[in-house]
């Protein structure tokens, strides 16, 4: 049977594990290889769920776009507290294998992910909005308007 493997164009130029000879025969656990050469192992080991984001400053405040492919909007939780915003999401593993099927490679990650951001000034929670389209979550986070000083009259 043919194995499916990821094409590595530089595998002949750079060894997959730069520290393979140094650790050969040692008692280092297998996970230490991920620390020694994370770039080499990250493509070949199982994937972890990630949430890449764009944070954009606008005239009104900020826009955060988060990539959440494969996540349903019911699995997204957004918390806003003063000047911080937290986004968490959960992606479920797809349907189990049917009889006669074998999983040859699993690169689609399942699990939970969370990102938090501290913004430079307080957010207007009541005016914030979120949309989710084609796997992209877009948050519109306006700045809270400065409170106008109130003059008190002496009685």
In-domain check, residue 53: yes
| Residue 130 · residue 54 · CB < 8 Å | no
In-domain check, residue 108: yes
More confident of the two residues 40 and 60: 60
Residues 35 and 63 in one domain: no
In-domain check, residue 30: yes
Percent of the chain, pLDDT > 90?
A: 44
Q: pLDDT class for 16, splitting at 50, 70, 90?
A: low
Task: Identify the three-state secondary structure at position 33.
Answer: helix
Q: Which of 66-75, 130-139, 146-155 has the weakest average pLDDT?
A: 146-155
pLDDT in the model for residue 36: 47
Residues 50 and 40 in one domain: no
């Amino acid at each position: 049977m043919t194995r499916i493997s990821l094409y590595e164009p530089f595998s002949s130029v750079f060894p997959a594990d730069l520290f393979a000879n140094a650790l050969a025969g040692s008692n280092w656990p297998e996970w230490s290889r991920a620390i020694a050469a994370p770039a080499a192992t990250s493509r070949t080991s199982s994937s972890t769920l990630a949430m890449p984001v764009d944070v954009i400053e606008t005239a009104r405040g900020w826009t955060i776009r988060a990539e959440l492919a494969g996540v349903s909007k019911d699995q997204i939780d957004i918390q806003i507290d003063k000047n911080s915003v937290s986004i968490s999401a959960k992606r479920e593993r797809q349907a189990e294998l049917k009889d006669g099927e074998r999983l040859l490679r699993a690169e689609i990650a399942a699990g939970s992910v969370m990102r938090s951001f501290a913004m430079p000034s307080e957010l207007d929670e009541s005016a914030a909005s979120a949309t989710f389209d084609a796997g992209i979550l877009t948050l519109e986070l306006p700045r809270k308007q400065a409170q106008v000083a109130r003059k008190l009259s002496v009685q």
